[in-house]
Structure 1
């Protein structure tokens, strides 16, 4: 009997086609599911931040700015990729791009991408070796250039030294990227920028100077990062304060300001002007010429500098740790870290006693104070805690309309704390930015967009630990790999 005559194939043609059909339908179903999930993810994106601080998570205020953005903005990160803050800068800007696709981010490493770097140099007219580590915001030809050095706040901390002179090192403590980038985004999308004028002619700090101590180039850069165009202004002769002056800065005059110029400054204040007055103690023999005007606006300025032996490094400087309650300093106090200013031989600047006369309707608030055991260098050596800065505001008078709005003024007893050297110390740059934005009534830039702490982790190894690590790397790891290889060989032999 032929046993193979009645044998049927394992799979008939129909069963094979049915199997292929099921495979095809399953594949199409999976692809459809992937397409639907991607469609839903694109329309309803959700992101989780797994880092402890959420380093690149945007604040609600920045997201509100991005939601209102309708113009195309190009952002060029012109950076050395080996810079320690490069990943944080790029990661933060990628968040801007994800929040609004009208923000286009590109990276150019000027050390490794010579061709692309030359194009950036030509497009934005950059020249010189100092044009590096920049972030460029461009919207319809309006360009905001951000120096990467201004994104990070540093502090000076002592290090162990063998000599008699103390040694210090700079340590990063905060990253201001989001505040600066959001400000730049507003700057390039605004059709009419704000303008600040630096008064000149009396040996004030020069906003174009790179001098380490007295130069103000970095402070001028800070203003530009806050969407403010800077210019210089002389009020000698028949010159008056221009109509487009949104902020007038008197930066530490060493020669007395003439009465005619003081009169024009006071006229500007009476019209509702905004003024940042920075004094110092190096022209005390002649005075600044501003003391009388400030007295009429309720501000008392001491003719002597303040010393604070409990909060000093050199004996001439003061680390200010006590603050008042005002929008200028409130973000520092509420920022979560230790709020501090680093000033140099400041004059005491406080509220004039009540009943002293002057302009009516003026409110003077003391902003910062020296330590409890401070003393004046002259005038009998009075001791105690002295105010070092004040904020002045004159509200609207019923029935009176001023040309420039409500008068605001910030007066500080030191001008060197915003110089090129000290502006990077502790919260000096923050204070300068907060003071300027309060003067310009930009409360948005006072509270909502804060700084991110920079945490430093250090591993200290002694000689014994270094030897153990060396033997582990040179002997332990190769020996471990050899044992794994021998184990595999032995298993295969069996």
Structure 2
């Protein structure tokens, strides 16, 4: 019996459809088994799930195996955190990611030494571990919650805390940094403290008159915005600390008061302060409206700033200028990393102006007769480098990165890896200084659209 052509064609269509459906199902099953980082793309406005180059470089250099354990019920883990963890762990064969449900495994909390709702980062090679609470990964505006009873998310800090934890568990450091007290110093802000903590450095404070000396475990001594000078006794303590191979980081304050002992120490390390304050007629922020709001030139020859791109910007305000002594003290070398442009101008209280290129940040190192390190003094001529208001204004600037690089440059066994949290603030598509730009959006485009539609409608009616 001869089959009808339509039946044969229908059979082929049915068979082809079945094969296509089977292929689609198989592809979906295969894709469904792929890890998140291979089947999803980061389309978030603030790139929540994208790992920074700094973390990628750190992960590429790992020489120890690290396990990241999420100790929480799967439903209790924010999807953003889970997705980022998948992306992060996929960047290194040295990193494994494990999900442990404490409800299904009641003994897990005791085994990992952590409570439910935690991320445990541990390294078998060093035997060290660090616990990150899930609540600390996503920050909320506490005042908003207090006033309105609702959680308003502000920051996402998964990458910063993870990279810091991996750096800690795979490293072998325990350095302590002290800030000086008793001279009207400016306290380091929360942003800076967080960056120091993420670099796995311990931060303390010391009053030299009470302590009698710089603490023995001090790896670096910071003086930030001191409004009063060191006493002669304190100068001797700091000098003895430096002569023993110590490191001091001095950030100058906005003050008219003379600091003769600090200036004496600077001179011993090849630097001198200019009178008054420094402006820059070429590199200043016009939107801030003052020649004194300087965008320093970042040196390409200093390891502190050589890694930045040509377009990276920082901001210093109320700056004291410095110069390198024409004749350096014996066994002293000075390397500048921040300067003004050739349009720098030193302005004294009586209005005297002296044009030139001034040093705004420098590292001075002293060696002994054998060439061994015998003191390192880092000086930035304005404490605004780490001022919280400046960091907020220059949220896309590199002030904090410069500070951390300068802070850790003298340590061979510490990196400056300190990843800032990502903002969860809502970004709106707005046009600043609209002026005539508003005309196309409110008139031209709508009228043009209506005209095109009307023409198309008329032509359709004539057909």
TM-score scaled by length of structure 1: 0.60
2:294 aligned residue: 319
Residue 415 (str. 1) matches residue 394 (str. 2): no
Q: 1:231 to 1:73 in 2, by over 3 A?
A: farther
Considering only CA atoms, is the larger Rg found in Structure 1 or Structure 2? Answer: 1
Quote the Cα distance in structure 1 between the aligned partners of 2:132 and 2:42.
Answer: 30
Shift of 1:411: 0.3
SS at match of 1:285: coil
Check if 1:331 corresponds to 2:307. yes
User: Structure 2: how far apart are the matches of 1:347 and 1:372?
Assistant: 16
In 1, Cα distance between the equivalents of 2:238 and 2:253? 19
Confirm or deny: 8 A CA contact 1:254 1:288 kept in the other structure: no
State how far apart, in whole Å, the 2-side matches of 1:271 and 1:73 are.
Answer: 43
Structural mapping, 1:154-303, within 5 Å: 181-190=162-171, 192-207=173-188, 216-237=189-210, 239-282=212-255, 284-287=256-259, 289-303=261-275
Question: CA separation of 1:57/1:409 partners in 2, compared to 1, >3 Å: closer, same or farther?
Answer: closer
- From 337, 340, 357, the equivalent of 1:385 is 357
Taking the aligned partners of 1:385 and 1:176, their CA distance within structure 2 comes to: 40
1:364 aligns with 2:364: no
Give the one of 85, 92, 112 matched to 1:93.
Answer: 85
User: Residues 177 and 435 of structure 1: is their aligned pair in 2 closer, same or farther, counting only changes over 3 Å?
Assistant: farther
1:436-464: per-residue Cα shift (whole Å, max 9, x none)? Answer: 12132357547x99999x9x894768224
Query: Is the 1:272–1:406 contact (alpha carbons within 8 Å) kept by the matching residues of 2?
Result: yes
Shift of 1:326: 0.3
Q: Offset of 1:143 from its aligned partner?
A: 4.4
When residues 370 and 233 of structure 1 are mapped into structure 2, their CA distance, relative to the original with a 3 A threshold, is same
Report if the CA contact (8 A) 1:62-1:449 is conserved.
no
Rounded Cα–Cα distance in structure 1 between residues aligned with 2:132 and 2:249 = 24
Query: In structure 1, what is the equivalent of residue 343 of structure 2?
Result: 373
* Cα shift readout 1:351-405 (whole Å, capped 9, x = no counterpart): 2112x5x3x322101111223223112173101222111112234642x87xxx6
Shift of residue 219, structure 1, vs aligned partner: 1.4
- Counterpart mapping for 1:392-407 below 5 A: 392-395=364-367, 397-398=369-370, 407=375
Please give the root-mean-square deviation of Cα atoms over the aligned residues, in Å. Answer: 4.9
Q: Which residue of 1 aligns with 2:19?
A: none
Instruction: Show CA shifts across 1:214-273 (max 9, x none).
Output: xx3321221111111111011115521122111111111101111111111111111111
Cα pair distance change 1:321/1:261, threshold 3 Å: closer
Distance 1:198 1:148 in 2: 29
Closer, same or farther in 2 for the Cα pair 1:101/1:390, shift >3 Å?
A: closer
**Contact persistence 2:335–2:363 (CA under 8 A):** yes
The separation in 2 between residues aligned to 1:319 and 1:105, in whole angstroms, is 49
String of CA shifts for 1:283-330, please: whole Å, max 9, x gaps: x23326311011001112223210224413242642324122200011
Query: TM-score normalised to the size of structure 2?
Result: 0.63
Q: Which runs of 5+ in 1 are unaligned?
A: 1-26, 108-118, 126-133, 150-171, 208-215, 472-494
CA deviations 1:85-112 (Å, max 9, x no partner) are x95x7654323333355445799xxxxx
Kindly provide the CA deviation profile for residues 44-89 of structure 1, in whole angstroms up to 9, marking residues without a partner as x.
xx9699779994476653234555134656599xxx999xxx95x7
How many Å separate the matches in 1 of 2:158 and 2:64?
Answer: 20
Task: Give the length in aligned residue pairs.
Answer: 363
SS at match of 2:264: helix
Structure 1 residue 431 corresponds to structure 2 residue 407: no
Are the equivalent residues in 2 in contact too, given 1:437–1:443 (CA < 8 A)?
A: yes
The answer on whether the counterparts of 1:256 and 1:286 sit within 8 Å (CA) in structure 2 is yes
Query: 1:276 & 1:137 partners in 2: Cα distance?
Result: 34
- The 1:363/1:451 distance shift into structure 2, 3 A limit, reads farther
Secondary structure at the counterpart of residue 226 of structure 2: coil
CA contact (8 A) 1:199 1:248 kept: yes
Whole-angstrom CA distance in 2 between matches of 1:238 and 1:445: 29
Please state whether the residue corresponding to 2:168 is helix, strand or coil.
Answer: helix
Give the 3-state SS of the residue equivalent to 1:256 in structure 2: coil
Aligned to 1:14: none
